[in-house]
Amino acid sequence: MMRRAALLALAALALPAWAIQPPPRVELDFSVSAGSMDIGEGHDVLQHDGKTYTIASELKTVGVAAVLYKLDIRREARGFVTPAGLQPIHFEEARTRKAPRAVDFDWKAKTITLTDGDKRQTLPLPENTYDQTSFAYAFAFRPLPEKMPTIYLSDGRKLSDYEYRNVGKEKLKTPIGELDTLHIEKVRDADDKRGFEVWLAVAHHHLPVRIRYVEKNGQVIDSTITRIEYK
């Protein structure tokens, strides 16, 4: 029995970091800012059993920001864990002052159905398609290539293709300490006003520890990790 345990431990050490999946349940807390102003708190829960996964993500504005921004968002995503990584099946979003959105993925029929309030459309489903919540956690379940393929993303409003690049390794100072991270960012054209960046913690299964959005109006929403708990 001891010999078998030792062999399993050696096998785990021989695997690349991405091949060792996160624990079955991970909770992550984030502080959320808009520019220099703290506006709220984020809370994500990732659960998986090696075959299926769910992600629940919440953002709530607090204090003065709750009056100024009124930006409460809840997103839920679920799908399969495959040898190639996460394969989303369903995504939904409820956001303050906006109609609910949803995305349904039919990988057998190769179709994706987008729901934005009363609007509903079905489109062809390309490879490497994610909802925006699953994409942030995708690299905890698959290797991060040096050159990333075209990524297709949807939040229920539309399906868009994006190019991303692996910026490289960076030290990131956070409330839970300095972390070694891999930095990924969306490649933007000169007229593209929307931005997205994510920092993945090497010592924490390549989970996202900082997420940065740039809205169409130029507003920057920045989420930085304040707690990671494994269960």
pLDDT at 154: 96
Looking at residue 133, the DSSP 8-state letter turns out to be H
- CATH number belonging to the domain at 21-230, selected among 1.10.3470, 2.50.20, 1.10.20, 3.90.25: 2.50.20
Measured between alpha carbons, how far is residue 145 from residues 5, 57, 149 in Å?
A: 32, 26, 8
Name the H helices within the chain: 2-14, 64-68, 132-137
Radius of gyration, CA atoms only, the chain: 18
Asked if 87 and 137 touch (Cβ cutoff 8 Å), the reply is no
Report CA 41 to chain centroid distance, whole Å.
16
Structure tokens at 88: 């989303």
Domain ranges of the chain: 21-230
For residue 181, count CB atoms less than 10 angstroms from its CB and return exposed for 0-12, middle for 13-18, buried for 19 or more: buried
Show pLDDT as tens, one digit a residue, over the chain (231 residues). Answer: 434 434 333 333 334 434 568 999 999 999 999 888 888 999 999 999 999 999 999 999 887 766 666 778 999 999 999 988 999 999 999 998 889 999 999 999 999 999 999 999 999 999 999 999 999 999 999 888 878 899 999 999 999 999 999 999 999 999 999 999 999 999 988 788 888 999 999 999 999 999 999 888 888 889 999 999 998
Q: Which residues pair with 63 in a beta bridge?
A: none
pLDDT at 194: 84
Return d(Cα 30, Cα 221) in angstroms, integer.
12
DSSP-derived 3-state class of residue 190: coil
> Token pair 């990131």 is at which residue?
172
Q: How many Cβ atoms sit within 10 Å of the Cβ of residue 208?
A: 24
